[in-house]
Amino acid sequence: MKKFWKNLTWMTPELELVRGIILESIDHYQLPNDRIREAARSLFDPPGKMIRPGLLLLCAGIFYGRKPEKITASVRNMDAEQFRGEIQKNIPDFYNFESVNLEKIPYPGGLPFRFYLLAAAIEVLHTATLLHDDVLDNAELRRGRPTASKLLGNRLSILLGDHLLTMAFQLVSESASVNSARIISRVVGGICRGEMLQNSLAFDLDAGASQRLYKQRIAGKTAVMFSLAMYIGTREALQLRQQGEYDDDPRNDPPECRYIRRYGYANGMAFQIIDDILDLDIHADNGKTKGQDLRDGILTLPIIRLLKENSLDEKQIRAVWNGDVQVEGILRDPKMEHACRSSMAEAELYANRADRALHRAEQLSGLDLSELKNLTDSLLTRRS
């Protein structure tokens, strides 16, 4: 997490507070036994990059007008467990937020507490989808560690993912406006449909090799979540700044909301294409088993490009699927490097679209959005 946000060091305590909320929320619900509880905690401790909650807080902070440079040293150095201690002290009955003074909890970046609850909801929601992903993909590793399905088995892992979904919506119900909550629920439906599409195309060398359907898949899998996080952060921040004047109807959102939404979507598309490249790049260390998507029958952009160019024989892929040969032979083929470069060029096209949308949002809002621009650049240059 710290490595990814190294150029925005003030984001680390922000995300530690989010983790504190998540860990407290997990313990609030009395899970059946310590084994399940520890598996649930291990999903967030140690943390991943926490990109989606970070995007929400970054947009919320910009459009709300907070000043992260005013973060005190004591708060800046707090970790998730220390923030959790503050939460327990100020909210003895977690989720009973109406009866307590939320202002007593130290907020690293000066945002109202509801934004940290929303950010926690987004991270929990994302993690729930990963649990289901790992079961469907028979994945053994996630961020270099055993997956929940490996620790608990598929049945308990799916049930834990379902539990996380209910936890996410509980957090949303306590923090989002009515229409923002509706938008979040619609996006969750889109994510599920994207996963259904991906799995319906598994081991299909015809429809599964369609670039159009590939983009549709990754839009539902990743881009909509990036877009949601940034849009909701922006929307809720503008609502708070314009209390009494802001129309909660999404059709009447300020135009900068629309461009931030487009920015998030294009960034998410670029991010997922790069993720798919890293899955096939034997030189990249992303903590995952290399070529796992291909083993699971999922064709990603570099493989699709190789097939379209007749640089990869369908028989080679079927041999991997049948267990007759190892996937490493395809990964080490010199043609794979060309396919990855070609796919990276596609990711850069989406990054350029993101930049254009961001420029328009900057013009409309009159705000300095350079922090978001820098984030786009870091997404493109990551190697893990």
Q: Inform me whether the pLDDT recorded for 311 exceeds 70.
A: yes
pLDDT value for 274: 95
- Residue 294, Cβ density class (10 Å: 0-12 exposed, 13-18 middle, ≥19 buried): buried
- Residue 93, Cβ density class (10 Å: 0-12 exposed, 13-18 middle, ≥19 buried): exposed
> Are 128 and 217 found together in one domain?
no
Per the listing, tokens 């990711």 go with 347
Picking from 144, 175, 206, the residue at the C-terminal end of a domain is 175
> For 155-209, how does the pLDDT look when each residue is reduced to its tens digit (9 = 90+)?
999 999 999 999 999 999 988 888 889 999 999 999 999 889 999 999 999 999 9
Q: Inform me whether the pLDDT recorded for 245 exceeds 60.
A: no
> Are 152 and 268 found together in one domain?
no
| Cα-based distances in Å from 236 to 111, 149, 343 | 11, 35, 35
pLDDT value for 286: 59
> For 202-233, how does the pLDDT look when each residue is reduced to its tens digit (9 = 90+)?
999 999 999 999 999 999 989 999 999 999 99
> Are 183 and 171 found together in one domain?
no
Whether residue 46 is preceded by a cis peptide bond, meaning omega within 30 degrees of 0, is: yes
> Are 119 and 203 found together in one domain?
no
Picking from 175, 204, 233, the residue at the C-terminal end of a domain is 175
Judged by average pLDDT, the poorest of 114-123, 200-209, 235-244, 315-324 is 235-244
Backbone angles phi and psi of 153, in degrees to 5: 90, 160
> Of all residues in the chain, what percent carry a pLDDT higher than 70?
96
The overall average pLDDT reported for the chain is: 90
Q: Considering its fold, how many domains does the chain have in total?
A: 2
pLDDT value for 92: 86
> Are 13 and 44 found together in one domain?
yes
CB of 309 within 8 A of CB of 281? no
> Are 138 and 210 found together in one domain?
no
> Are 220 and 262 found together in one domain?
yes
Mean of the pLDDT values across residues 299-308? 96
Q: Inform me whether the pLDDT recorded for 246 exceeds 70.
A: no
> Are 200 and 98 found together in one domain?
no
> For 56-84, how does the pLDDT look when each residue is reduced to its tens digit (9 = 90+)?
999 999 999 876 666 777 888 899 999 99
pLDDT value for 252: 83
> Are 144 and 185 found together in one domain?
no
**CA nearest neighbour of 298 among 212, 208, 384:** 208
> Are 218 and 340 found together in one domain?
yes
Q: Inform me whether the pLDDT recorded for 146 exceeds 60.
A: yes
- Rounded-to-integer distance, Cα 196 and Cα 332, Å: 31
Domain with residue 95: its CATH number is 1.10.600.10
Picking from 112, 144, 175, the residue at the C-terminal end of a domain is 175
- Rounded-to-integer distance, Cα 267 and Cα 230, Å: 11
The residue range of the domain holding 219 is 176-384
> Are 253 and 152 found together in one domain?
no
Which residues, in sequence order, are bridge partners of residue 141?
A: 146
| Cα-based distances in Å from 360 to 109, 152, 242, 314 | 26, 47, 21, 44
> Are 164 and 203 found together in one domain?
no
**Global pTM?**
0.93
